[in-house]
Structure 1
Amino acid sequence: MKRYALYYAPDTGPFADAAAHWLGRDAATGQAVAQPDAMLPALTVSARRYGFHGTLKAPFRLADGVSEDDLIAAVEVFAAGRSSVVVDGLRVASLDGFLALIPEGDTTALDDFAAKVVTRFERFRAPLTEAEVARRKPERLSARQRALLETYGYPYVLDKFRFHMTLTDRLEAGQKAVLQPMAEALFEPLLPRPFAFKALSVFGEAEDGSFHQLLRARLG
């Protein structure tokens, strides 16, 4: 794998199946899945590549001296010592121009869990190259975001973190008007209330740029 990431991904079941159906690919199996509308293939290209997930620690290259096996073993140990995280629920929302599932209610416990993942696994991350920094467009970031990018390789962590599960690429207003009701109709009957965050997943980026779930470590 070229890079690794630590994500939330749902367990097998109707929710995971609906997400794979929506994006057109199942990150757990690597299989392509027929999408429910002809608009979606062109408007989920990036989301499909990454697979259905909520980012905790963004994709990173492994640091010198550590292996995939080391990372997986550390994630299993970490997950075993953590309890499930619960939020009131999830809902479909427009976030910075794309559709996503975002949490409802108090996210303090989820934010704290994400911060622990970011800091605990920092030793596995290789430093960013100049090209990787440039791709984040640091000139458009706030001073705090640039500091987080320099320290943790990603500008949207800790106090800048917003948990979300991406459903589309960036949309125009007309596209959003069609796809948001469609996403709400598909997902809302399947979203549990409360929503329990029960596992931490390791994803890996294959040579073709697609991300695959390598491990789903249950919390506790």
Structure 2
Amino acid sequence: MTARYAIYYAPAPESPLWSFGSGVLGYDAASGVSAPVIAPDGIAPAEWAVMTAAPRRYGFHATLKAPFHLRDGVTEDDLVAAGRAFAATRAAFALPELELTRLGAFVALQPKERSSGLDDLASACVEAFEPFRAAPDADERARRLETPLTERQQSSLARWGYPYVFEDFHFHMTLAGPVADGVAPLVTKGLTRLYADHVAFATIRVEAVSLFVEDAPGRGFRIVDRFVFAG
């Protein structure tokens, strides 16, 4: 029960978006090793390492099915087989244009406009991989409930193990945080410039979902397999 799995959107490891996100975090979840760091101007390396520590643990990604333990009797091989079957039913589509935004104390990439393709993919992942998820223990539920949740989000937490699904899903790829209010504008501006330098004019397609694993508490998540869509 120590390992946790998640279904994430992660750009192709050879893509400029993946290189950018992994560089900002200083960690490449495809290889499971550190990546050469890129950081905004005006932020000291040690300070940047602290600002990216929380998202670095999870690797560069957007959550589709939040981290979960496997239920009794289910193996990683079962999950991989399910991922391949899921991908065989999906078609690729263009990732909407992204921009750097502040999400509370965090800084992330988000679509400039809501995407029905991303919403549909996330909903499908929540449902398709639900049979493999063990129910969260009392400590995990208590941690989730420390954050104020709406009645609908509380219901989703009880049913799906995660409050931000379906109507409450918002695609985002976290790059830094928590970031203090005083430095957040500098971080956002600097990351916007770096994003333009590294990813500008690149066409990114949502052509796969990835299975990530955290082998033990405190270890970084890494990619187990990438399920490329049939279409």
TM-score range, shorter chain: over 0.9
Q: 1:192 to 1:55 in 2, by over 3 A?
A: farther
Q: Which amino acid letter does the alignment assign opposite residue 222 of structure 2?
A: H
Structure 1: give runs of 5+ residues left out of the alignment: none
Which of residues 207, 213, 216 in structure 2 aligns to 1:204? Answer: 213
**1:134-172 superposed Cα distances (whole Å, 9 cap, x missing partner):** 010267211100000000000000110000000012211
State the match for 2:15 in structure 1.
13
Choose 121-130 or 35-44, whichever is displaced more: 35-44
Contact 1:87 1:105 in 2 (8 A): no
Q: What is the correspondence of 1:54-73 to structure 2 with a 5 Å cutoff?
A: 54-73=62-81
Once the two structures are TM-superposed, the CA of residue 34 in structure 1 deviates from its matched residue by 3.3
1:149 paired with 2:157, answer: yes
Q: How many Å separate the matches in 1 of 2:114 and 2:151? A: 27
State the match for 2:126 in structure 1.
118
Q: Which amino acid letter does the alignment assign opposite residue 7 of structure 2?
A: L
**1:20-59 superposed Cα distances (whole Å, 9 cap, x missing partner):** 1110110011111232341310101111100000000000
Paired residue secondary structure (2:99)? strand
Q: How many Å separate the matches in 2 of 1:41 and 1:206? A: 22
**1:114-151 superposed Cα distances (whole Å, 9 cap, x missing partner):** 10110111000001111110010267211100000000
Contact 2:8 2:211 in 1 (8 A): yes
Contact 1:205 1:212 in 2 (8 A): yes
Q: How many Å separate the matches in 1 of 2:227 and 2:201? A: 20
Paired residue secondary structure (1:188)? helix
Q: How many Å separate the matches in 2 of 1:30 and 1:19? A: 14
TM-score w.r.t. length of structure 2: 0.90
Contact 2:87 2:228 in 1 (8 A): yes
Paired residue secondary structure (2:78)? helix
Choose 67-76 or 202-211, whichever is displaced more: 202-211
Q: How many Å separate the matches in 2 of 1:180 and 1:123? A: 39
The list of structure 1 runs, each at least 4 consecutive aligned residues, that deviate by more than 6 angstroms after superposition, is none
Q: How many Å separate the matches in 2 of 1:25 and 1:138? A: 29
Q: How many Å separate the matches in 2 of 1:162 and 1:175? A: 24
State the match for 1:219 in structure 2.
229
Q: 1:139 to 1:173 in 2, by over 3 A?
A: closer
Q: How many Å separate the matches in 2 of 1:33 and 1:60? A: 26
Q: Which amino acid letter does the alignment assign opposite residue 11 of structure 2?
A: P
Paired residue secondary structure (2:57)? helix
Contact 1:89 1:192 in 2 (8 A): no
Contact 1:63 1:127 in 2 (8 A): yes
Q: How many Å separate the matches in 2 of 1:138 and 1:79? A: 35
Q: Percent identical across equivalent pairs?
A: 38
**1:167-211 superposed Cα distances (whole Å, 9 cap, x missing partner):** 012211222122111111111340556642111000000224310
State the match for 1:165 in structure 2.
173
State the match for 2:24 in structure 1.
22
TM-score w.r.t. length of structure 1: 0.94
Q: Which amino acid letter does the alignment assign opposite residue 28 of structure 1?
A: A
Q: How many Å separate the matches in 1 of 2:109 and 2:158? A: 28
Q: 1:138 to 1:179 in 2, by over 3 A?
A: closer
Paired residue secondary structure (2:176)? coil
What is the alpha-carbon root mean square deviation over aligned residues?
Answer: 1.6
